[in-house]
Structure 1
Amino acid sequence: MNPVFDLAAVGALVVITAVLGFAGIRTSRTRSDFFVASRSVGSVWNASAISGEYLSAGTFLGLAGLVLLSGAEGFWFPIGYAAGYLLVLLFVAAPLRRSGAYTIPDFVEARLESRAVRRVTSVVVLVIGWLYIVPQLHGASLALGVVADVPPWVGGVVVAVLVAGIVAAGGMRAITAVQAFQYWLKLTALLVPAVFLLIALAGDGTAIDPARVFPVESGPGALDAYATGSLLLALLLGTIGLPHVLVRFYTSPDGASARRTTVAVIVLIGAFYAVSSTMGLIARVVAPDLAAPGVADTVVLALPSRLFPGLTGQLLTALLVAGAFAAFLATSSGIIVSLAGVVSQDVFGGGVRSFRLSAVLCTAVPLVIALLTQPAGLVSSVGLVFVFAASTLSPVLLLGVWWTRLTARGAVAGMVVGAVSCGAALVAGAALRDTAGGAVFFSQPAAWTIPLTTAVIVLVSLADRGGVPLRVDRYLARLHTPDV
């Protein structure tokens, strides 16, 4: 594999990203510019940006690898990822925009009139964000290591430095342009090679045996009903609890625009998942020898050279490398913006200067973690974040939007119980990975941690007779009053 084209593609992406990002300095002046792009992002542009940050390393590289390893079972992830936005559309997109908040802790504090619940929410948001960034940095190191002989830390450091610089320079307004561009680059980077590969397979007369792509032993009858249902529940509800996803709805001009944005997002990410899954199916035919944990995540980068050993394969691989780095950059920058907004307001006072400092600090923490840890499967790593978000933040947000009796004590108790139970379950699941029976109960805990969190919130809130905010009816009316 010739690294010249691949490194040139990464270099070109870095230059374009830097130009788009630092161009935001000219228009980013106020606190509103940095936090929510002055609430002026149109539906299509915002949908492209949301899709750009949502489609992470786990999707661009990991999904094809998961399909290679698991066949039809791997399709549950894109189904859950895409369907999660339907719940966002139905339950939280427009109300959160009408709340007028800058961040998720802003919304929770305004809804429950409590600084204590804000602090707990801020901690949960930081944990979710940092857990999500680490796989992006691992993926960057993995991708660069495949195409070039560089130390494993280089990819993660490049992504972290670029993201911190762009977010600190222009905030939300700057990264909106970056993320929108990177969505279309990622889609192109997968679509073009997929078309070439399908044409090559059809042209050389390769017979694709359906039993090879979807083995009988991996069919619906082989699925674990509990594990599959728990996974889908985590993916569906976890989307509602991702801070970097929700904060983008604050950039819409109004609630109706937020709804239109969500519909467009479902279309855009659905198209991307179709192409990414197709690459996984192609891999089952072209590169079955790469179906091994830790190796499968690189299969997308290896496919072009299998069928196009010359210049064409090198150019297609370079395009894929650029798309992979776009995935790392877009997702990481979205998360850093949402975390910088939280840290800036809760620790440093909420000004533009404090936002810039917070962006650097929020990037440094996951970078250190990534450098000190070994990468696991990209899809499974991201999936754990969805489980944690669904078990902590999602129930509070849903009940905060739709249930008048929610109290601050109930929300705090629920988030603490959800975080502890989810964390303990995942640790136990990792320890019992090689055993049978109860291991799946812990490795896929969403089916019981989400109901547990919800029950704790409801019971504590009902017992907290004096804790319902006085202005709750007025605030909920604001959330649910249609835009004029």
Structure 2
Amino acid sequence: MIQNAWSLVLVVVVATLTFLLGYVGSRRANTTPDFLVARRAVPATRNAAAISGEYLSAASFLGVAGLVLKDGIDALWYPIGFTAGYLAMMLFVAAPLRRSGAYTLPDFAEVRLGSLRLRKFCTFFVICIGVLYLVPQLQSAGLTLNTITGLPAWLGGALVTAIVVVNVLGGGMRAITLVQAFQYWGKLFAIAAPAFVLFTLFLGGPGNGAQPVDEDGVLRFHEDVAVTTVDPVRVRVDQAVELSATGEVDGARADGEVYWTPGLYAIGAETELRFTAGSPVPVVEGSPGENVDWLRPQTTGLTGLFETYSLIFATFLGTMGLPHVLVRFYTNPDGRAARRTALHVLYLLGLFYLFPTVLGVISRQYLPQLLVTGKTDAAVLLLPTTMQPNVLGQVLGAIVAAGAFAAFLSTSSGLVVSVAGVVSTDILPGKVRDFRWATVLTGAVAIGLAVLLPRSDVSLTVAMSFALAASTFCPLLLLGIWWRGLTWVGALAGMVVGGGLVIGSQVVTVVSSYTGHWAPSVLSQPALVTVPVAFLAMVMISKLTARRRPEDVNQILLRFHAPDPLGFMRDRDVQRFGTAEEKARLEEGKHRDGPAPSPRH
């Protein structure tokens, strides 16, 4: 109860600071450009902290440690890919994207290729990626609140949605920039401080609560343990084990002693499994059971190798196609500042990802019961009190819980802004009131899906968002910026083919999970196929439709690549982003370096 109280207090503190900083940032937000791109006046260092705060989502704060606990060394490709993607962005995308003068990704597509039809397809994929990324943030918020207090999981998602929507309504991008920069440093402290303390204690000796590993490298429970599943799960048993089960096992009712020989077993939801001290730890299907396999990469042969390279493709190339990340580069004053922002983000992310990796390694010895249910995302939340069931553990657990909520808030804020910005400018007329209506609609849809859809590993769900971004917007950006031969027909074909393959593979995977797990595992990570196919489709169709190439392509690319001091860069003049009166007031406000008057609607 004491830990719950401390956790709730710190969560409330984080929520309050988020609201107050959002209020401070929104006081000078009056026009549509304020809400969409923060008046394009965010310095590189602050923007880098804001991007890092936005980018370090539930997949980073909870999911990376959980995947290291479950999958071992192979899971390290997640933080590597999440970070390395900014290297490609810095080299190929950041500066030309800012020089395009666009406000959103669909706007960039129209700037480059002059097609309203392509713009509408870009709008569709921005919404898909944004919602697909937002749902696991809200579900993880529910997991965190449920873990630390026992309150219903939907309440955590609703709380995050309410705070984010209120902040975004107040000032859009201008309001959340300061919030996200602050939350990066808050999340770094919340993950680094427990990691330092717990790793120091771990080096001093495993102590009570650590699970022994026998001479064969098999992880065993050190005491009697009762585990209750939340969702149906398939577990693999490598060594015969005796246990008690109450619930559903392999489709039949179980209530008493059970003997499992090596093999796979389907466990129903809300099934309680009771293991005695010394029993080997079963693991969810697809995870290594023995420590020697956990420490060795690529133990599943060609299939595992395909999935690893597919993950690298998705994370490395998907970063430069994530709408909520790209929209932040529109807020830099010029292309040089955008490139410097990407460079700063590289070392901010590299520093952060050291700590969840360490916590994931330690969790394997202290929290093997999570390997039975597959809910390894809770490892970071449970590890402090498991290692130190005293005041120190309670304080560290409360700090981690507060950091997790900061992760949900910052990432959700960026996602809501990016989706609402596209909805308001491409579906609605594009005024400030339209942005606010789009914000409310986005929040309502996201929390509804978070409650209705089953929850899976956060990093796996987010990785699918990366795969979709890598198969749609990454080819559009790279070819649109660096190849003059791209046509809107080719770009449209590539996005439809790449995005359609990713969405189709996920539909098949979901259907398979409910009908016997018949789909091949490669469909869960399809980027190694979908990304090259998308690039190939764009190039081939563009060559076949060369007459559709924009007549002013040379002038457009010159604006993208010319150094900033030459003065070719200019902001996109899209009339629906504001009336002439609003623009005049905005420019007047810029010259005075003061707030622009509020527009009339």
Check whether TM > 0.5: yes
Distance 2:56 2:373 in 1: 21
For 2:433, give the aligned amino acid: R
Match of 1:368 among 431, 440, 448: 448
Seen in structure 2, the aligned counterparts of structure 1 residues 454 and 205 have a Cα distance that, compared at 3 Å, is closer
For 1:440, give the aligned amino acid: S
For 1:216, give the aligned amino acid: V
Instruction: Note the C-alpha offset of 1:482.
Output: 1.6
Deviates more, 1:367-376 or 1:214-223: 214-223
> Which residue matches 1:267?
347
Contact 1:305 1:313 in 2 (8 A): yes
Seen in structure 2, the aligned counterparts of structure 1 residues 292 and 21 have a Cα distance that, compared at 3 Å, is farther
Distance 1:6 1:205 in 2: 26
Distance 1:124 1:271 in 2: 31
1:133-212 to 2 correspondence within 5 Å? 133-204=134-205
> Which residue matches 1:422?
502
Instruction: Note the C-alpha offset of 1:215.
Output: 3.0
Deviations 1:214-264 (A, max 9, x none): 933231241521111111111111111100000100111111111111011
Seen in structure 2, the aligned counterparts of structure 1 residues 69 and 45 have a Cα distance that, compared at 3 Å, is same
Deviations 1:424-447 (A, max 9, x none): 122223445698997133222111
Provide TM-score, normalisation by structure 1: 0.96
1:319-468 to 2 correspondence within 5 Å? 319-432=399-512, 439-468=520-549
Seen in structure 2, the aligned counterparts of structure 1 residues 279 and 205 have a Cα distance that, compared at 3 Å, is closer
Contact 2:485 2:546 in 1 (8 A): no
Report the count of equivalent residues.
484
Structure 2 regions of 5+ residues with no counterpart? 220-289, 566-601
SS in structure 1 at match of 2:550: coil
SS in structure 1 at match of 2:29: coil
SS in structure 2 at match of 1:291: helix
Contact 1:430 1:443 in 2 (8 A): no
Seen in structure 2, the aligned counterparts of structure 1 residues 453 and 369 have a Cα distance that, compared at 3 Å, is same
Distance 2:192 2:522 in 1: 37
Instruction: Note the C-alpha offset of 1:272.
Output: 0.8
Deviates more, 1:29-38 or 1:265-274: 29-38
SS in structure 2 at match of 1:133: helix
Instruction: Note the C-alpha offset of 1:105.
Output: 0.7
Seen in structure 2, the aligned counterparts of structure 1 residues 212 and 17 have a Cα distance that, compared at 3 Å, is farther
Distance 2:177 2:5 in 1: 30
For 1:470, give the aligned amino acid: E
Deviations 1:169-219 (A, max 9, x none): 011111001101111111100111111111222334669989789933231
> Which residue matches 1:104?
105
Distance 2:18 2:136 in 1: 20
Instruction: Note the C-alpha offset of 1:149.
Output: 2.4
Contact 1:20 1:177 in 2 (8 A): yes
Contact 1:65 1:291 in 2 (8 A): no
Contact 1:40 1:251 in 2 (8 A): yes
Compare the two structures and name the one with the higher helix fraction.
1
Deviates more, 1:376-385 or 1:428-437: 428-437
Distance 1:397 1:463 in 2: 20
> Which residue matches 1:39?
40
SS in structure 2 at match of 1:175: helix
For 2:170, give the aligned amino acid: A
Seen in structure 2, the aligned counterparts of structure 1 residues 473 and 196 have a Cα distance that, compared at 3 Å, is same
Seen in structure 2, the aligned counterparts of structure 1 residues 204 and 453 have a Cα distance that, compared at 3 Å, is closer
Instruction: Note the C-alpha offset of 1:136.
Output: 0.2
Deviates more, 1:222-231 or 1:287-296: 287-296
> Which residue matches 2:26?
25
Max Rg structure: 2
Distance 1:457 1:270 in 2: 33
Higher relative contact order (CA 8 A, sep 6+): 1
Distance 1:113 1:67 in 2: 45
Instruction: Note the C-alpha offset of 1:72.
Output: 0.5
Distance 2:320 2:142 in 1: 29
For 1:274, give the aligned amino acid: L
SS in structure 1 at match of 2:93: helix
Match of 1:483 among 546, 558, 564: 564
> Which residue matches 2:297?
220
Deviates more, 1:412-421 or 1:40-49: 412-421
Deviations 1:60-95 (A, max 9, x none): 011111100011111011111111111111110000
Deviations 1:106-155 (A, max 9, x none): 11101001111101101110000000000000000000000112122100
> Which residue matches 1:3?
4
Structure 1 regions of 5+ residues with no counterpart? none
> Which residue matches 1:125?
126
Deviations 1:20-44 (A, max 9, x none): 0011221111222111111111111
Instruction: Note the C-alpha offset of 1:417.
Output: 1.4
Contact 1:212 1:284 in 2 (8 A): no
Distance 1:369 1:324 in 2: 21
Distance 1:450 1:258 in 2: 25
Distance 1:474 1:454 in 2: 24
Instruction: Note the C-alpha offset of 1:360.
Output: 1.2
For 1:151, give the aligned amino acid: P
Instruction: Note the C-alpha offset of 1:291.
Output: 2.2
Contact 2:7 2:398 in 1 (8 A): yes
SS in structure 1 at match of 2:333: coil
Distance 1:84 1:158 in 2: 31
For 1:108, give the aligned amino acid: A
Seen in structure 2, the aligned counterparts of structure 1 residues 424 and 376 have a Cα distance that, compared at 3 Å, is same
Distance 1:483 1:105 in 2: 23
Contact 2:143 2:156 in 1 (8 A): yes
Contact 1:293 1:377 in 2 (8 A): no
Aligned CA RMSD, in angstroms, stands at 2.0
Contact 2:487 2:546 in 1 (8 A): no
> Which residue matches 2:79?
78
Distance 1:81 1:423 in 2: 21
Compare the two structures and name the one with the higher strand fraction.
2
Deviations 1:403-426 (A, max 9, x none): 111111111111111222111122
Contact 1:69 1:292 in 2 (8 A): no
Distance 1:212 1:467 in 2: 62
Residue 231, structure 1, aligned to residue 307, structure 2: no
Contact 2:22 2:171 in 1 (8 A): yes
Contact 2:93 2:478 in 1 (8 A): yes
Contact 2:164 2:412 in 1 (8 A): yes
Contact 1:428 1:443 in 2 (8 A): no
Contact 2:74 2:298 in 1 (8 A): no
For 1:367, give the aligned amino acid: I
> Which residue matches 2:250?
none
Seen in structure 2, the aligned counterparts of structure 1 residues 436 and 318 have a Cα distance that, compared at 3 Å, is closer
Contact 1:36 1:172 in 2 (8 A): yes
SS in structure 2 at match of 1:222: coil
Distance 1:480 1:66 in 2: 40
